[in-house]
Amino acid sequence: MMLSLLKFEWQFHSRQWVFYIALFACVAFGGILMFSQSVDSDILINGPYYLARLICTLAFLILPFLVSAFAGNAIVRDRNVKITELIFSTKVSKWHYLFSRWLGLVLITSLLFLTAGVGMLMALMLLDNLQLSIIPTIAAILWPILLLALPGIVLLASILFAVGLFSKKNIAVYIAGIMFFLVYQLLLVKTGSVLMANPATGSETLQFIFSLLDPFGSAAFFDQVKLWSPAEKNSYYINLSGILLANRLLVLVLALVIFIFCYQKFTFKTEPKLSKNQSRVNNVESSTLFKVLKPYKSVLPQVGILVNWLAFVSQWKVEYLATIKTRSFLAILLFWLVILISEIISGFAPSGSLMPTPFAGTIEALWRFQYDMLPRFMSFFMVFFAAEMAWREQDYNAESFIHASPVGNISLFFAKWIALLFIPFTLITVTIFVSASLQLIYGGNIEWPVYLSLYYYCGLPMVCIATLCLFIHNISYNKAIGMTSSLLVVIFAISPAGDYIGLEHPMFSFSSHPLLQYSDLIGFAATSDAFAGFMKFWLSISVVMLLLGYGLYRRGAMVSLINRVSFIRSQWGHFGVGFFLIATTLSSYLGYQVYYQTNEIAHYQSNDDAINWRVGYEHKYLQYQHLLSPKVSSIKTQMDLYPAQRRFKMQAQYILHNPHQESLQEILVSTNVKVDYTDVQIEGASLKSYDPKYGQYLFQLNKPMSPGAQLNMSFSVAQQQNGYLGLVADNLIVPGFSYVRAIRYMPLFGFNTHNQLPSPSLRKQFGLAELPAQKSLEQAIAEQQGDFSKDYDWTNFETVISTSTDEVAISHGELVAQWQENDRNFYHYKTNGKIRNVLAYLSGRYLVANRVVDDVNLQVYYHKNHQQNVEHTLDAMSATLKYANQHFSRYPAKDLRLLEAPRVLGMTGYALPQVMLISEHGGFRDDLTNNSNIHSTQRSSFDQVYRRTAHEVAHQWWGHGLNGAAQEGGAILVETLAKYTELVLLEQKYGREYVRKLLRHEHQRYFFGRARSSENELPLYRADANHLIYSKGAVAMYALKEALGEAVINQALRQLMNHHSYPKPPATTLDLMTALKTFSQPAQERLVDIWFKDIEIKDLSIVSASYQKLSDTSYQVDVCLKAEQTNITEFDEPRSTANKTLVWLGILTSHPDELVTKGSDSEILKIEQLNLGNQEKCLTWTVKEQPSHVAIDPFYNQLDQNRDNNVLVPVNTLLN
Amino acid sequence: MLTIKQLNKTYSNGVKALDNLNLTVEHGMFGLLGPNGAGKSSLMRTLATLQSPDSGEIIFNGKNILTDPQSMRNHLGYLPQEFGVYPNVSAVDLLNHFAILKGLINKVERLEQVNALLQQTNLYQHRKKSVSSFSGGMRQRFGIAQALLGSPKIVIVDEPTAGLDPQERNRFHNLLADISEKTIVILSTHIVEDVNNLCPDMAIMASGKIVKQGAPHLLLNQLSGCIWRKQISKQEVEQFQLTHDVISQRLVAGKAVIHILSESCPEVGFEPIQADLEDLYFSAINTAVA
């Protein structure tokens, strides 16, 4: 019998049109996802790891929707068509009924998901630069589907089956599906999953729970492979063991439990559920009334505008309340509140290991939900509410009544529209209320104007989406088609899905606009101009759709669309036709405006066009690849910034010189086509050709430029910008803050390698030669005889920069003069000596704080409301300056400026020569009130202000002072040394226990980055990946500091500065290593090599620990421990002596994590360095107090893949 | 044989649908008459095991179906008052599916019975069309076809002829009469004529109780000589309603004709008439209200 029932289920599901749509969508999705993966990494996209990862992505993206689409049909269909009484009165058993439906659901969604795998396979076969063997690839796709996706389908099916079974409503199933989708993504973000683009190292407990409960096993999967190298990821399959096995079992058990629950609770009963307000009219009673009935009297109805208005108001109230008062709306609202509250709270009281505590400001709250979660959430649920609204009469079987009544279409239609608009209005209002309340609780300032602006910024796009959805429903044949179509359109509008099918241009995503994020310095100004432009356009289209929707209003059943089209004119009347013509003209005009701003002013280029442009450039100009070019030695500019108009104009005079041994005949000047160059002139040269498409000027010198000779060059450049393509981080001109980084727009000389296509697979596709591989450091040294001086790009710099009258302008060098002219502020800056040619022009509405330290004028430019941490910032600048002056080299300039930058730029800190930017959320808005008492238990936050400031100031030496060779490992000399400086400054201020927190964070980030990396790990001296140069570098430098001593490191760094600062030949990491070895003991030199040239990952562990009380002041502690090498890659020659490592052991009176917070209660009783190996070693110590914890490598001086076994509570063994 | 004892059911909004109901049904056609809201459908649904009563007993062929609903379902054919069907499924496929649900596992037997029932309900030539496209009458016939699947010992039909045209109603009655030779058929309706034509045993239900039960001719005997008729003007109706036990009032050629229940002649101008089932019905429910 089960088989026959299953056969019926298959026939039923497969005959629905949603089956065919889902089939097509699955194959397409799988194929497109596969197609869009980039082939250029060490991890093969057809290898088992990558395919499994893609399956995980597919699973969480499509399965919630897939299963909910069919779950309704599986179990709610009986209720929907009212066939329940027939079925329940047959003798079918609960088991057969429930299991056949459930299994049918599982089988059909599994089959459909399998076709997504087929889509992936097809795409792989079409990608032609892969060596593809079919059978292993099929296996590599099937295995994760079987292992990861299928149990997830089983669990998801059980959950949605249960929801459908007990709610008896399709909409509950859909809502549950969407909630699953959103919650799963939230969990992926919060646990720092590899699947998400923005890694956050989240709470470890949450990660553990998630890896046990994840329905698709992604967390356990990534945990299993986190230490695998790319080569291993390309050949090994995931195995069913450990946490993954536990997770799979747990998932299946959970599904079973849910099914059993359904089985127990379900009965074949169809009792009508009546609420207290409903009562089935008892006709028998009314028959007594019939004896004293009043006679029937007719009342004359009225017609006219007033009637339509009252009908509209009444109908609107009905529609609105009918939507709000449902369980679905309540559930959605509750769901949103839970997410919102948890997001805001985690913003105000973050719990990461290194999180600062921000002020509980409106801007902090907004950053948790305003630009992504709220719009997406509302968009999704608008689709539902629009469907409910549009088909309400049909659903309740009331359409005959309403449509036969004399109320005009205009009232009905607009009542629905307005009622639908009130839904996002309600949601926004609730959000504002909750957010403001939370702010109050956390003691922050509420900025009501910003909250009120949410109605504009978040509400208007919803108006468009609401109108679109209603329109689609009006022309759809039934509710399901309408809902699917509007869901598809909304998905295209709010996600980059459109890019994959060629609909890249922003005007294809209805209701979309460039990202809007808020900053105290500039508000929404970075993109609010574009928002307004786009909204005007979308709203005008909405008006057109409103008119069409009204004109095609579906009154009465079964009036086909074609029929209704012929009635439009009469529906509209003359007014309507006029409106329609005006609206369409207006939208064309506004659309043209958006197009103009996007394409002409903002220079929009589709992906393909951008690629073709690069290919074209290379084909045309590669011939100049070896053309020798002059260098810039002096730059003088007049830069005029117009923040209110979002534009700048600049006149520049360059002095060029010929650094080569040969003379130059031609000079090729490469300019950026996105700004407007005029009057490009070179002294003594004539313009041979100008290529506007690529911005290339080819000059022919009248007389050859001899070696060492100089020439003047001048040009003007101007730019008008807008926010239509979003914000460009280093080219932003808005009232309140302007930042123009010259390197982006200033002319370059010779063949411009930045214009080449970087991707090897694309180059092959377009017939371009392979790019020369990055030479290894050793090769490069050999080729250039160790002298990379030609990498240098240093220049004298002088500028007169002007800005609006309420702002101050900043650039590099000493402020020679400042004045006012024509209602604008002018500033004249000049450097005394050359600086690196990384120049910027800045302006903002700032207050300035000054301090003179070591003859240097330290300045902090800050927003008038953000003065809380300014003094502390100056303290950090001062301490770092003094330290570096003393230990590294003398800071060469008279000024050092630090500017507060808007958060929307997307970076926390950036250092330019003599000028630094630190984001408003990178320190200015941290709450350091608990910071003063270093041992306060309330201090869970970290002093990021001090840390970041020290780091950026350090870059004045590491990067702008010592400008290393542009070769492998060059980044180490910039970032790793800055991390070192940051560490020693923090230790100087707060002590070693405090710095431990930072090291722990960096240690975690290294492993995290390594797990996500798609490249083979390079040794530190050649590294450039972030998790290496920042995190591994930090651990390495601190470990070396502990081993060699701070004085040794500083001596080495001083030598580096002395021997390799400009204009001396630039340094490489080998020079750093040599310097370190110079000043260290011979026995320690090996350590330098190990950290910089090898990759060593260990597993240090305490096997057992116990203590005995010998007397009140004497305790004996026995510890057994070992140090295993789990992963060693040695370059050069083998170094590990008998696999032994020097490791610290600590005996403490508290857990090492509490060293800072517990103050004097927490103490290190003993700390000792041991030589440990693979073999377990047992040792004994005596300490003077009762120990509570024993810790191996408590200060993170080693890379230890498993820190769980590093701390142990010793067992008390009593003396006998 | 079906025995119902002391059946009680009160819904969550306070409406008492079944009030200490007692009923016995032997084989053959049994008519259950009553106004809307009397509790007929509640009773039907309880018998069909779709609803649980608050208290009471229902014994069918020796088994208490409240504790063992499966014993009822194994022999039950149920045609509810309202039902829908899956879209895009043909009559033969859907009937086949129901046959499976009713335990007709043997494919040959099943197909045979399905085809036979389709012919009996005159749906055979439409068997490949989707049931959702059937007219009201055809759908009702499909409903009775599925109720007759297997070999039900008790068939419960709830308001089966509402919405059927006269020809269909006749056909339906004949079909029911055929079945009732071997099974219990409980026909619940408010159309007095149907009960009149078909049922050798009947009951009248009002306000959750059985107010009259028995063979129709015997019940009518109780009323002989108690029904009086008079033609009056519309304005007088109200006055008569206050002073006499008016059991029905209708219009004949524009004039009001009232029937009165009375042991003896109520007044000058009234003529005695032979009580018919309608009079029985009206008098029963009026008494129940009073």
- Most B-contacting residue of A16, A90, A478 (CB-CB within 10 A), to test interface: A90
**CA of A277, closest CA in chain B: separation in Å?**
8
Tokens of A862: 């800050």
Show residues of chain B in contact with A93, CB under 8 Å.
Answer: 70
Query: Is residue A938 scored above 50 in pLDDT?
Result: no
Nearest CA in chain A to B238: A291
- The pLDDT score that the predictor gives to residue A547 is 87
Lowest mean pLDDT across A59-73, A410-424, A930-944 = A930-944
Show residues of chain A in contact with B50, CB under 8 Å.
Answer: 85, 88-89, 268-271
Q: Do B83 and A271 touch (CB under 8 A)?
A: no
Using the Cβ of A932 and the Cβ atoms of chain B, whether some distance falls under 8 Å is answered with no
* Distance, C-alpha A542 to centroid of its chain: 31
Across A318-322, A501-505, A750-754, B169-173, the highest mean pLDDT is recorded for A750-754
B99-114: average pLDDT: 89
Nearest CA in chain B to A7: B97
The residues pairing with B231 across neighbouring beta strands, listed in sequence order, are B257
Using the Cβ of A287 and the Cβ atoms of chain B, whether some distance falls under 8 Å is answered with yes
Q: In chain B, which among 161-220 make CB contacts under 8 A with chain A?
A: 206-207
Using the Cβ of B48 and the Cβ atoms of chain A, whether some distance falls under 8 Å is answered with yes
B158-172: average pLDDT: 81
Query: Is residue A637 scored above 90 in pLDDT?
Result: yes
Q: Do B102 and A92 touch (CB under 8 A)?
A: yes
- Residue A632 banded pLDDT, cuts 50, 70, 90: very high
Using the Cβ of B73 and the Cβ atoms of chain A, whether some distance falls under 8 Å is answered with yes
Residue A1054 or residue A1187, greater confidence: A1054
Query: Is residue A835 scored above 80 in pLDDT?
Result: yes
Show residues of chain A in contact with B82, CB under 8 Å.
Answer: 82
Query: Is residue A466 scored above 80 in pLDDT?
Result: yes
Using the Cβ of B20 and the Cβ atoms of chain A, whether some distance falls under 8 Å is answered with no
Lowest mean pLDDT across A16-30, A656-670, A748-762, B273-287 = B273-287
Using the Cβ of A274 and the Cβ atoms of chain B, whether some distance falls under 8 Å is answered with yes
Q: Do A86 and B105 touch (CB under 8 A)?
A: no
CB pairs under 8 A between A and B: 120
**CA of A275, closest CA in chain B: separation in Å?**
6
Show residues of chain B in contact with A283, CB under 8 Å.
Answer: 35-37
Could you report the per-residue pLDDT of A727-757, keeping only the tens digit for each? Answer: 988 899 999 999 999 988 899 999 999 999 9
**CA of B221, closest CA in chain A: separation in Å?**
26
- The pLDDT score that the predictor gives to residue A288 is 47
Q: A1010-1027: string of b/e by CB count within 10 Å (b at 16+)?
A: bbebeeebbbbbbbebeb
- Residue A199 banded pLDDT, cuts 50, 70, 90: low
User: ipTM value of the model?
Assistant: 0.85
Using the Cβ of B11 and the Cβ atoms of chain A, whether some distance falls under 8 Å is answered with yes
Tell me whether strands B154-158 and B76-79 are parallel, antiparallel or unpaired: parallel
Q: Do B50 and A273 touch (CB under 8 A)?
A: no
Q: In chain A, which among 6-25 make CB contacts under 8 A with chain B?
A: 8, 11-12, 15-16
SS3 label, residue B241: helix
Query: Is residue A465 scored above 80 in pLDDT?
Result: yes
Query: Is residue A290 scored above 60 in pLDDT?
Result: no
Q: Do A269 and B51 touch (CB under 8 A)?
A: yes
Q: Do A86 and B103 touch (CB under 8 A)?
A: no
- The pLDDT score that the predictor gives to residue A128 is 63
Which whole-number Å values give the CA distances from A385 to A326, A393, A1034, B123, in the listed order?
11, 14, 52, 42
Could you report the per-residue pLDDT of A1149-1158, keeping only the tens digit for each? Answer: 888 887 776 6
Show residues of chain A in contact with B94, CB under 8 Å.
Answer: none
A339-367: average pLDDT: 81
Q: Do A83 and B52 touch (CB under 8 A)?
A: no
Query: Is residue A496 scored above 80 in pLDDT?
Result: no
- The pLDDT score that the predictor gives to residue A1160 is 65
**CA of B205, closest CA in chain A: separation in Å?**
11
Residue A893 or residue B244, greater confidence: A893
Could you report the per-residue pLDDT of A223-247, keeping only the tens digit for each? Answer: 898 888 888 888 888 888 889 999 9
Using the Cβ of B88 and the Cβ atoms of chain A, whether some distance falls under 8 Å is answered with yes
A1108-1122: average pLDDT: 87
Query: Own/partner pairs for A16-20, CB < 8 Å, 24+ apart?
Result: A16/A73, A16/B88, A18/A69, A18/A70, A18/A73, A18/A480, A18/A484, A19/A108, A19/A112
Query: Is residue A882 scored above 90 in pLDDT?
Result: yes
Distance CA A657, CA A630 (A): 5
Q: State the virtual CA torsion across A544, A547, A548, A551 in degrees, nearest 10.
A: -170
Nearest to B82 among A82, A90, A287 (CB): A82
Using the Cβ of B235 and the Cβ atoms of chain A, whether some distance falls under 8 Å is answered with no
- Residue A1028 banded pLDDT, cuts 50, 70, 90: very high
Show residues of chain B in contact with A104, CB under 8 Å.
Answer: none
CA A1082, A1084, A1090, A1092 dihedral sign is: negative
Tokens of A444: 């922050």
Distance CA A348, CA A439 (A): 9
Q: Which has the closest alpha carbon to A759: A30, A121, A5, A41?
A: A41
Q: Which has the closest alpha carbon to A315: A426, A407, A406?
A: A407
Encode A31-90 in three state secondary structure: HHHHHCCCCCCCCCCCCHHHHHHHHHHHHHHHHHHHHHHHHHHHHHHHHHHCCHHHHHCC
Q: Do B50 and A91 touch (CB under 8 A)?
A: no
For all residues of chain A together, what is the average pLDDT?
Answer: 88
Query: Is residue A779 scored above 70 in pLDDT?
Result: yes
Could you report the per-residue pLDDT of A853-870, keeping only the tens digit for each? Answer: 999 999 999 999 999 999
Residue A475 or residue A537, greater confidence: A537
Say which residue the tokens 């403001």 belong to: A436
Tokens of A538: 């979308």
Which whole-number Å values give the CA distances from A1011 to A155, A1005, A1198, B149, B193, in the listed order?
28, 10, 18, 64, 82
Q: State the virtual CA torsion across B126, B131, B132, B137 in degrees, nearest 10.
A: 70
B245-252: average pLDDT: 82
* Residue A1097 near residue A1198 (C-beta atoms within 8 A): no
Using the Cβ of A286 and the Cβ atoms of chain B, whether some distance falls under 8 Å is answered with no
Q: How many C-beta atoms surround the C-beta of residue B244 within 10 A?
A: 17
* Residue A980 near residue A1034 (C-beta atoms within 8 A): yes
Question: Starting at the edge strand that comes first in sequence, how are the strands of the sheet with A856-862 ordered?
Answer: A847-853, A856-862, A895-901, A915-919, A909-912
A1102-1118: average pLDDT: 88
Residue A1023 or residue A1083, greater confidence: A1023
Q: Do A271 and B50 touch (CB under 8 A)?
A: yes
Tell me whether strands B28-33 and B184-189 are parallel, antiparallel or unpaired: parallel
Show residues of chain A in contact with B87, CB under 8 Å.
Answer: 81
Show residues of chain A in contact with B98, CB under 8 Å.
Answer: 86-87, 90
Could you report the per-residue pLDDT of A245-283, keeping only the tens digit for each? Answer: 999 999 999 999 999 999 999 988 887 655 545 444 444
Nearest to B36 among A92, A278, A283 (CB): A283
For all residues of chain B together, what is the average pLDDT?
Answer: 86
Across A101-105, A190-194, A506-510, B130-134, the highest mean pLDDT is recorded for A101-105
Nearest CA in chain A to B158: A85
Could you report the per-residue pLDDT of A985-1016, keeping only the tens digit for each? Answer: 999 998 888 898 899 889 988 998 888 888 88
Q: State the virtual CA torsion across A721, A725, A726, A729 in degrees, nearest 10.
A: -60
A277-306: average pLDDT: 58
* Residue A895 near residue A859 (C-beta atoms within 8 A): yes
Show residues of chain B in contact with A280, CB under 8 Å.
Answer: 11, 13, 15, 37
Q: Do B15 and A274 touch (CB under 8 A)?
A: yes
Nearest CA in chain B to A270: B50
**CA of B210, closest CA in chain A: separation in Å?**
14
Q: Do B100 and A278 touch (CB under 8 A)?
A: no
Nearest CA in chain B to A276: B13
**CA of A23, closest CA in chain B: separation in Å?**
20
- The pLDDT score that the predictor gives to residue B181 is 77
Distance CA A565, CA A553 (A): 10
- Residue A1138 banded pLDDT, cuts 50, 70, 90: low
Q: In chain A, which among 58-117 make CB contacts under 8 A with chain B?
A: 77, 81-83, 85-93
Residue A930 or residue A741, greater confidence: A741
